[in-house]
Structure 1
Amino acid sequence: MALTLLMVVNDPAFFLSHRLAVAEGARKIGYKVHVATMDGEAVRAIESKGFIHHVLPLSRSGRNPLSEFFGFLFLWRLLWRIRPDILHLVTIKPVIYGGIAARIAPVKGVVAAVSGLGYVFIAFGFKAALLRGVVSYLYRIALGKENLSVIFQNPDDRKVFTGLRLLDVDKAVLIRGSGVDLDVYPYIPEPPSAVPVVCLAARLLRDKGVVEFAEAAAILKERGVKADFQLIGSVDSGNPASVTEEEIAVWRDRGLVEVLGHRNDVASLFANAHIVTLPSYREGLPKVLIEAAACGRAVVTTDVPGCRDAIDPNVTGLLVPARDAVALADALQSLIDDPALRKRMGAAGRSLAEREFRLDKVVQRHLDIYSKLERT
């Protein structure tokens, strides 16, 4: 009889971009794969790939306690109906709600993927501290199941969870990122453009360093540095850290950035770019940086957990302090002014992607965890 895998992810588009290969790998070795996400346009794509899909009644903002309880209840009932051999939970709400539900439902093994600590662990202030306390308590309950593995993308996040005693050390596993398909993101020499193109591809959130990116563009414009700055991504109105449409309009009107919105052709955009940057405040391990490396593009990112783990500093890219637009501008200018350095870093980045971030390698690591939990 085939084993059953249920993958629970907030956003259906995130499942397609970050976990589809794992689901397909599990199906290839005989799993019957169910996927549960919120509703959205990407659900049709999930169903078209032959997975059994369940719509989760969750919200991004989570401000209504009653709605959140019904979301948890739905997930608990789904576990009783499917009775998965392996439950794979991705992102904060699925990990917390699914982890708690799995302790009172017939689930053999649980994989929880902590792909970043998120807004709750980054924000400052009394309210944020209070929320962190509540979330930490819920994590401790959710990750208390005996037959469970928690995947971290960088050692700093793993240290936070084990240091706060949210998780037993022997349940923590490190897998560096979600992997990159080297055929989809091929190495292409940078275009011979007179004006270098600098890309930032991300949800347009403050904690992704979007504001610092615009400020760095303004600084370099004042210095007379010739470069084009592209923002690839869209406003996330359900996230309290999102920049606003008004802010974007100001940057556009000042001629600081070209706003391309959400795009599905990131590989082509990187191929036409010269530098990729992500001045984030904290990450799990940003997929966009390993995609940039695969494309052979030099990277400028921040010296914070996740980001620094995605590059080989001073070999494939440069590190700058977070929340520092001047330092970001200086690092970008050093690469804008030195094409030879950019090309060396880009070639080294491709080698790093081939060595550390191959998609098939990452998928196999996940399947090995499933196999271990099945035997326990």
Structure 2
Amino acid sequence: MDGTPLRILLILRAPVGGLFRHVSDLSHELAARGHQIGIVVDKLHTDALSAQRLGELSPLVTLGIHPFAIPRTAGLADLATPLAIRSLADRLKIDVLHGHGAKGGLYARLARIGSRERVALYTPHGGVLNYKPGSPVGAVFRQIERLLMGATDAIIFESAFAHRAYADQIGTPSCPAPVIHNGLMRAEFEPIVPRPDAADFVFIGEFRDVKGITYLLDALVGLRAPDGRPATLAMAGGGPDFEATRARIAELELDERVRLLGVQPARPTLELGRCEVVPSLAESLPYVILEAAAAGRPVIATDVGGVREIFGPTAASLVPAADSAALARAMQTYLDTPRIAEQEAEARLAHIRRGFSVEHMTDSIEALYRRALDARTASRRSFT
């Protein structure tokens, strides 16, 4: 297909986290290249922050933002909403349906069935891969993935880890399935300098079990700076375990050492700690580490998901997940010898610059859209 602008519908459930960050960045870049973008989002997920985020996208989403019922769990909407999205795609003359996450991917591919022109692509963002092996819901979604392969023109994996996990859990994709890493804007490669009153460490993320917060707090208890001062921590974020985290801080008598900041943007929050700590139990390719690495900040992280791909030449410093003792050792090493962590941060920044820009990400996705459309056209001609 030539360089004609495309009409693209991005489909997701909730405008939160790294998934929405990716959709937002992709929308900005595709719109800047002359493509027309529409977004489908869950009308059941309503809060002030989500409304603000979608409002910021409105000026560049020329095909509109369209709320539909997209529940997290299975239900009747899983039959009705794809039909409604298909009607919307017909009305908007959509070329590309791009689903994000488990539900977005499901609806994009169901909405593509019956169309001879448009294509459906899918980025899991963890999604179905996050279900535990014994989960009945996970088993259903994995089987649906296998059944929908024939309606899938391409699957985009944001990490090699996600690609391997998909192959292990579901099977090798029969469609094109490239790894295209998430990318950062040029401005995000500007260095960040901690404020004079910055804490020793900073955590940025959701307050829920999978983020490993309990292990972080346990690790903090015995940490001391070389001068004997107890180590400090700033924590930004919100989520279902916020109050439980507050209670755990009190139980460990860390009230004077831990600041709870609430939900904050990542880059300004990086100024509030000298070293970021990401103690996650599971991840795909977390933006919170990419952002810190691009800003040249030291990072202590667990060896989960695609984090090793971000750390590149510094991957040897990753710590095992769910191990507060190992995490404490890494944090104490930073307190004792911060210059070593700063040198690692310099090497990590050079690695990130080479392969994690939003321009490179969008180039790759845009080219995949066109290849999928070309393949669809060729297939249609072979039957005429």
Same fold (TM over 0.5): yes
Work out the CA distance in 1 between the residues paired with 2:173 and 2:282: 23
Which residue of structure 2 aligns with residue 260 of structure 1? 261
Which residue of structure 1 aligns with residue 287 of structure 2? 287
| Worse overlay, 248-257 or 280-289 | 248-257
Which residue of structure 2 aligns with residue 139 of structure 1? 145
Matches within 5 A, 1:110-259: 110-117=120-127, 120-121=130-131, 123=132, 126=134, 128=135, 130-145=136-151, 148-168=153-173, 170-176=175-181, 178-190=182-194, 196-220=199-223, 226-235=230-239, 242-251=240-249, 254=253, 255=255, 257-259=258-260
Work out the CA distance in 1 between the residues paired with 2:156 and 2:294: 23
Partner of 2:69, secondary structure, is: coil
Which residue of structure 2 aligns with residue 5 of structure 1? 8
Aligned letter for 1:144? G
Aligned residues: 359
Work out the CA distance in 2 between the residues paired with 1:272 and 1:164: 40
Partner of 1:5, secondary structure, is: strand
Against the structure 1 CA distance between its residues 316 and 191, is the aligned structure 2 distance closer, same or farther, given a 3 Å change threshold?
Answer: farther
Deviation of 1:107 after TM superposition, in Å, equals 5.5
User: Does the CA-based 8 Å contact 2:188-2:295 persist in structure 1?
Assistant: no
Partner of 2:188, secondary structure, is: coil
| Worse overlay, 254-263 or 328-337 | 254-263
Against the structure 1 CA distance between its residues 188 and 30, is the aligned structure 2 distance closer, same or farther, given a 3 Å change threshold?
Answer: closer
Work out the CA distance in 2 between the residues paired with 1:115 and 1:372: 22
Against the structure 1 CA distance between its residues 2 and 201, is the aligned structure 2 distance closer, same or farther, given a 3 Å change threshold?
Answer: same
Which residue of structure 2 aligns with residue 326 of structure 1? 325
Which residue of structure 1 aligns with residue 380 of structure 2? none
Work out the CA distance in 2 between the residues paired with 1:161 and 1:246: 33
Aligned letter for 1:312? G
Partner of 1:333, secondary structure, is: helix
Deviation of 1:152 after TM superposition, in Å, equals 0.9
Which residue of structure 1 aligns with residue 311 of structure 2? 311
TM-score, length-scaled by structure 1: 0.85
Work out the CA distance in 2 between the residues paired with 1:285 and 1:372: 25
Is 2:71 the counterpart of 1:59?
yes
Is 2:107 the counterpart of 1:97?
yes
Aligned letter for 1:300? I
Deviation of 1:118 after TM superposition, in Å, equals 6.0
User: Does the CA-based 8 Å contact 2:310-2:352 persist in structure 1?
Assistant: no
Which residue of structure 2 aligns with residue 29 of structure 1? 33
Against the structure 1 CA distance between its residues 304 and 369, is the aligned structure 2 distance closer, same or farther, given a 3 Å change threshold?
Answer: same
User: Does the CA-based 8 Å contact 1:5-1:85 persist in structure 2?
Assistant: yes
| Worse overlay, 226-235 or 39-48 | 39-48
Is 2:49 the counterpart of 1:38?
no
Aligned letter for 1:245? E
Against the structure 1 CA distance between its residues 44 and 5, is the aligned structure 2 distance closer, same or farther, given a 3 Å change threshold?
Answer: same
Q: Structure 1, residues 201-235: CA drift from partner, whole Å, max 9, x if none?
A: 11212112122122222243799663221221111
* Structure whose CA Rg is larger: 2
Aligned letter for 1:291? E
User: Does the CA-based 8 Å contact 1:225-1:333 persist in structure 2?
Assistant: no
User: Does the CA-based 8 Å contact 1:9-1:94 persist in structure 2?
Assistant: yes
Aligned letter for 2:173? D
Which residue of structure 2 aligns with residue 238 of structure 1? none
Which residue of structure 2 aligns with residue 77 of structure 1? 87
Deviation of 1:323 after TM superposition, in Å, equals 1.0
TM-score, length-scaled by structure 2: 0.83
The CA RMSD measured in Å over matched residues stands at 2.8
Task: Could you tell me which runs of 5 or more consecutive residues in structure 2 were left unpaired when the two chains were aligned.
Answer: 44-49, 376-384
Identity percentage over the alignment?
21
